[in-house]
């Protein structure tokens, strides 16, 4: 689409990025004469009217945001089936590329970047806009180190429309929240979870959850607890670690409840890196369980009190005493009978239960090798068995497949007895992430890949955009993960593809005319013979190669002029002095032209800019015999002084 003009205003210059939903072009606004970025909706989404409507409404809503850390949206429009958003052009790289190039950032830098992002999120939330796709790929870093959040509002249009249409969730699986993974309701706290994941990656150099498929990563967001950043990078202070772990809580109610709250802790941790101020919300979830019966000894004081009270009442009159004794005998007999019956029933149940196998509560350990870890884990945990996970790379077993188990198959355990079993789980083959190699020297790229244990295959291609000898792209591409030992194809640029053109006829043209004719065909002037020809009005008398031949673009063409014998000239030394230089600007032009007597044709000898510090200016002025030389001085493009030397 390069060269196309949209909306009678925006000329597309070059493609600078793209994602699953749109392509991004650098463009020039012909009305305001400035560079902008145009995000153009991919063609496969333009046929859905509901999607396009949401896309436009959300983009217009995001255009209302005005914040130094938010990429500004200038305009929204469409031309035919092309729907586009005009945004501020940022000359920089994404935060993802920044992390890839530098590795784990220093915690202070990571926190300062997060403060800028969180400030942008806070501003958006106050305007009732939820981003829903916060990730390093959507954060642009300017050359001055300023973070700019982009794609505000667009993610909401994408996810809500897609869920409505096909019942699935679209998002960046490594960064989205557990509620997004479930396809459930998302709100402001979902953005804060994604920011927490981004801060985790900044201080550790990697994301907390990773897997071979998006589903595997999504399940980890829902079920698994990540390693604490401080365990991966010991330089991460406790305060930063606490902020990250609170932001990525699986329960929304346990996270930061607002961007303002998280922003406060981020600012405070720069002053108090040891932490101690991050508060956690705790929820007591009491499961149904068996409670021991209250012991007689716990009731003794109360029973004794009742007995003492009875004895006091008995001492008051004998009549009451006789009635009480009679009643006591009856109660004692009834109680004895109840106790005997209870003892018989308890004894019977004990004997019967000891003879009968406890099939209902028994659980037999099976052979889990080769099975999916998450399925087995859910089954064992449901039976009250504690599962310990140990991960290791394995070239033969797929990721999340159980390699071995600590308890042999066939052993019985009582369900709910809290038996512990350790499962060794495959992390799959050792993976290597492809670095960003575009525009790097192909030899450096090969070394970087081979240092990571990969095999390289260099292929050459023509490229209009990438210089000769630099990397155009790799296959697999940037940020993809491949098995150690895999082959990576490095595409090396041969520069622009040179076409064959027909040599024009330059005979009879001046040097300037010849130069223009060659430039139109992407050819250049080679040697000028004779050298140091001063008279540029001379005509070409011969050329090499000859007119009509076919040659490649960029080939130089030698041109020949008639050799003229110069008449001897004398030199006159002069010293040029300028007065009142402070009244003029710095632009001083000196022109010297000789006028021979035989031709009376002007020959420019000097046409140079000088500075004030060059004056007084000593000059050696060549003067033709029986001719003259004219010297002209221009200050600020106006003639200041002019004289002739004969």
CATH number of the domain encompassing residue 631: 2.60.40
* The dihedral formed by the CA atoms of 64, 68, 69 and 71, expressed in degrees to the nearest 10: 50
SS3 call for 276: coil
Closest CA to 6 of 54, 74, 61, 64: 74
138-162 mean pLDDT: 70
- pLDDT band (50, 70, 90) for residue 180: confident
State residue 246's pLDDT score.
95
In a domain, 414, yes or no: yes
42 shares its domain with 22 = yes
In a domain, 302, yes or no: no
In a domain, 544, yes or no: yes
481 shares its domain with 520 = no
- Chain centroid offset of residue 309 CA: 80
| Domain boundary residue, one of 426, 442, 467 | 426
Q: Is the pLDDT of residue 640 over 60?
A: yes
Q: In what order do the strands lie in the sheet with 524-529?
A: 524-529, 556-561, 540-544
Instruction: Give the range with max mean pLDDT: 280-284, 319-323, 561-565.
Output: 561-565
Chain position carrying tokens 């909306």: 7
Structure-model confidence comparison of residues 5 and 3, the more confident one: 5
377 shares its domain with 470 = no
461 shares its domain with 588 = no
In a domain, 46, yes or no: yes
Q: How far apart are CA 506 and CA 219, in angstroms?
A: 72
Q: Is the pLDDT of residue 483 over 50?
A: yes
506-516 mean pLDDT: 87
In a domain, 616, yes or no: yes
Count of domains for the chain: 7
Closest CA to 94 of 137, 155, 134: 137
406 shares its domain with 472 = no
512 shares its domain with 463 = no
554-568 mean pLDDT: 74
In a domain, 469, yes or no: yes
488 shares its domain with 541 = no
pTM beyond 0.85, yes or no = no
The mean-pLDDT minimum among 188-202, 250-264, 402-416 falls in 402-416
State residue 358's pLDDT score.
47
- Domain of residue 54: give its range: 5-88
Chain position carrying tokens 């009509």: 548
133 is catalytic: yes
Model confidence pLDDT, tens digit, residues 99-141: 998 889 999 999 999 999 999 999 999 888 888 889 999 999 9
Report the CATH number at residue 544: 3.30.10.20
- pLDDT band (50, 70, 90) for residue 569: low
Active-site choice (48, 75, 133, 191): 133
Q: Is the pLDDT of residue 431 over 80?
A: yes
597 shares its domain with 448 = no
Q: What is the mean pLDDT of the chain?
A: 80
| Contact status, residue 107 vs residue 237, Cβ threshold 8 Å | yes
247 shares its domain with 115 = yes
């Amino acid at each position: 689409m390069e060269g196309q003009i949209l909306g009678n205003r925006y000329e597309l210059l070059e493609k600078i990025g793209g994602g699953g939903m749109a392509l991004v072009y650098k463009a020039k606004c012909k009305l305001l004469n400035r560079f902008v970025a145009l995000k153009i909706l991919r063609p496969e989404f333009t046929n859905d009217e509901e999607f396009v409507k949401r896309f436009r409404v959300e983009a217009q809503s995001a255009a209302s945001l005005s914040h130094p850390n938010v990429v500004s949206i200038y305009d929204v429009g469409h031309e035919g089936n092309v729907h586009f958003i005009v945004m501020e052009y940022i000359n920089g790289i994404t935060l993802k590329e920044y992390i890839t190039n530098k590795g784990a950032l220093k915690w202070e830098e990571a926190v300062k970047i997060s403060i800028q992002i969180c400030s942008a999120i806070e501003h958006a939330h106050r305007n009732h806009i939820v981003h829903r796709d916060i990730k390093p790929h959507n954060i642009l870093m300017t050359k001055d180190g300023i973070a700019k959040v982009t794609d505000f509002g667009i993610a909401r249009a994408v996810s809500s429309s897609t869920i409505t249409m096909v019942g699935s969730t679209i998002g960046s699986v490594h960064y989205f929240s557990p509620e997004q993974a479930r396809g459930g309701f998302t709100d402001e706290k979902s953005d804060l979870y994604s920011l927490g994941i981004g801060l985790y990656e900044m201080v550790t150099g990697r994301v907390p959850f990773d897997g071979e498929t998006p589903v595997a990563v999504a399940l980890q967001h829902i079920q698994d607890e990540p390693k604490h950043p401080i365990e991966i990078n010991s330089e991460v202070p406790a305060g930063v670690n606490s902020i990250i772990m609170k932001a990525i809580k699986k329960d929304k109610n346990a996270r930061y409840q607002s961007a303002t709250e998280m922003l406060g802790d981020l600012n405070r941790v720069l002053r108090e890196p040891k932490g101690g101020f991050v508060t956690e919300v705790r929820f007591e979830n009491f499961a149904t369980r068996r409670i021991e019966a209250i012991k007689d000894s716990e009731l003794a004081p109360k029973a004794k009190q009742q007995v003492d009270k009875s004895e006091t009442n008995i001492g008051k009159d004998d009549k009451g005493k006789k009635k009480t004794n009679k009643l006591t005998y009856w109660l004692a007999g009834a109680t004895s009978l109840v106790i005997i019956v209870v003892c018989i029933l308890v004894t019977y149940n004990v004997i019967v239960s000891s003879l009968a196998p406890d099939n209902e509560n028994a659980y037999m350990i099976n052979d889990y090798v080769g099975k999916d870890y998450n399925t087995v884990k859910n089954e064992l945990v449901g039976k009250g068995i504690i599962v310990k996970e140990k991960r290791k790379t394995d070239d033969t077993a797929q990721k999340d497949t159980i390699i071995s188990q600590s308890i042999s198959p066939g052993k019985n355990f009582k369900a709910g007895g809290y038996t512990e079993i350790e499962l060794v789980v495959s992390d799959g083959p050792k993976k290597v992430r492809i670095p960003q190699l575009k525009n790097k020297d192909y030899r450096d790229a090969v070394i970087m890949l081979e240092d990571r244990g990969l095999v390289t295959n260099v292929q050459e291609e023509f490229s209009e955009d990438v210089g000769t000898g630099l990397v155009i792209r790799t296959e697999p591409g940037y940020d993809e993960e491949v098995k150690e030992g895999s082959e990576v194809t490095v595409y090396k640029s041969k520069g622009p593809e040179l076409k064959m053109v027909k040599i024009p006829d330059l005979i009879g043209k001046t040097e300037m005319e010849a130069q223009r004719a060659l430039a139109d065909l992407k050819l250049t002037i080679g040697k000028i013979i004779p050298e140091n020809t001063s008279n540029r009005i001379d005509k070409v008398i011969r050329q090499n190669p000859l007119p009509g031949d076919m040659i490649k673009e960029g080939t130089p063409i030698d041109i020949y002029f008639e050799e003229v014998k110069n008449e001897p000239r004398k030199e006159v030394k002069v010293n040029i002095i300028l007065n009142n230089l402070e009244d003029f600007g710095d632009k001083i032009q000196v022109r010297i032209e000789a006028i021979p007597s035989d031709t009376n044709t002007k020959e420019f000898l000097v046409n140079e800019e000088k500075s004030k510090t060059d004056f007084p200016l000593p000059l050696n002025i060549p003067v033709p015999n029986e001719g003259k030389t004219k010297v002209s001085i221009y200050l600020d493009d106006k003639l200041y002084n002019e004289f002739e030397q004969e």
